[in-house]
Amino acid sequence: MKTLSEPLAPYAETLSFLHDLWLSERAPERPALVFVETTPAPPPPDDPDPLRARALAAQHAALHGRVCEGTDYVPLLSTNNGTEAMASAFGAVLQEHDGRYWAERLFHDLHEADGLEVPPVEGALVGEALEHTRLLRQHTELPIMSLDLQSPLTVATQLLGVSELFMAMYDDPRRVHALLEVITEFFIRVVETQQASAGEFWAPVFWPGIWSPPEVGLELADDYMLALSPELFDEFSLPYLSRLAEHFGGLFLHSCSIYSRNLPSLKKVPNLRGINSDLSMSCPVREILDALPGVVVTPHIYMNKEITHPTQQVWLRETLEAWRPGDRLFPYVLAVMYDPPAKAEVATDFAEVRKVIPASVRRT
């Protein structure tokens, strides 16, 4: 590995281990592990913009109140300013409620997208994220994560509407592909710009909050994989995931759920470096590991709605027990888990979580 910056020097052993987890021919001899555990931190600076204020508060707490004892945590800087960032660059109007934003559909008919051009990367929320990247690179020496990159298919649903896009897959597939081509070209320009701005500190994975080397390429979030048949996914999402994975030399993919029927499609993605999903809405982690050898599998649990777990520690114990030599497993333990009967989040007891970590996995 290259010489580390001064702020990263204390994490040299962890970074070396994670580098091997991602890129070495032989997987490390233990799983990786990160907890989203924090202690009270000083209040962050104020910002009048609700979106920036929320992002600043989360980043401030992560850097100043993070508990990293016994895990493979590395401090990271976020440029994530919302799932609607890419849609905003195409002109989608953002609506705000309680500090959160969503994109209003830009088109009411797919014909309106005829002649759509690739927008400039400096516009809207994308431009803000890229400027944020330049400022972070100028003033820090910590890894800089990508802005939130929903997949080309997801951005298309934001521009046209989910039902409208899915119907158009049957009624007007040529126009759907034309729209996806424009969106994919925009992705290439945005990621290339952010990569160049972040330089040696580029860390492509934006969710979950784990360190990733530049060779991972980029991360995309494709939550509609679970809503489409494998045939439709292979026709309308896989080609664009594959094009981006080939262009950037790698792809980390998030989907809230990964079912057994999705695994054959994932095996077709070139340079697939890693995946993330909520295991309470996915097939067993052992099935994923067996289907995708050499891929970093970094699951979490939150929704707790299809496969229920009483606590994070029970889930973590079961997940670690599934690990076998040669696996690249990286559980990510959240600070909360949703309790469906109570309709509320339950805080994670990290003292209890630590008790289920085998000595062979526990960091000193």
Query: Contact 24/354 with Cβ under 8 angstroms?
Result: no
CATH number of the CATH domain containing 90: 3.20.20.210
What pLDDT does 54 receive? 67
Query: Contact 196/68 with Cβ under 8 angstroms?
Result: no
Q: Is the pTM for the entire model greater than 0.85?
A: yes
Question: Is 79 inside any structural domain?
Answer: yes
What pLDDT does 62 receive? 67
Question: Is 362 inside any structural domain?
Answer: no
Question: Token pair of 172, please?
Answer: 């007007």
Question: Token pair of 232, please?
Answer: 């439709």
Question: Is 196 inside any structural domain?
Answer: yes
In this prediction, the residues of the chain whose per-residue pLDDT falls under 70 are 1-3, 51-52, 54-56, 58, 61-62, 64-68, 99, 363-364
Question: Is 53 inside any structural domain?
Answer: yes
On the CB side of 82, CA atoms within 13 Å amount to: 25
What pLDDT does 162 receive? 96
Q: Please count the other Cβ atoms lying within 10 Å of the Cβ belonging to residue 56.
A: 16
Q: Please count the other Cβ atoms lying within 10 Å of the Cβ belonging to residue 121.
A: 18
Q: At how many degrees (to 10) do helices 152-160 and 238-248 cross?
A: 130
Question: Is 1 inside any structural domain?
Answer: no
| Residue 348, C-beta contacts closer than 8 angstroms, at least 6 positions apart | 35, 36, 37, 311, 312, 333, 334, 335, 336, 337
Question: Token pair of 17, please?
Answer: 């281990």
What pLDDT does 43 receive? 75
Q: Please count the other Cβ atoms lying within 10 Å of the Cβ belonging to residue 82.
A: 22
Range of the domain at 223: 6-355
Cα→Cα distances 9→4, 6, 105, 141, 316, Å: 6, 5, 46, 11, 29
Question: Is 316 inside any structural domain?
Answer: yes
What whole-number distance in Å separates Cα of residue 320 and Cα of residue 30? 10
How many domains would you assign to the chain?
Answer: 1
Cα→Cα distances 342→141, 281, 337, Å: 43, 19, 11
Question: Token pair of 113, please?
Answer: 């997208």
Cα→Cα distances 347→8, 37, 304, 333, Å: 30, 10, 13, 11
Question: Is 188 inside any structural domain?
Answer: yes
Question: Is 259 inside any structural domain?
Answer: yes
What pLDDT does 47 receive? 73
Could you check whether the bond before residue 204 is cis, i.e. omega within 30 degrees of 0?
A: no
pLDDT single digits (tens) 95-114: 877 767 788 999 999 999 99
Element (H, E) at 254: strand 251-254
Element (H, E) at 11: none
What pLDDT does 2 receive? 57
What pLDDT does 96 receive? 78
What pLDDT does 34 receive? 96
What pLDDT does 65 receive? 64
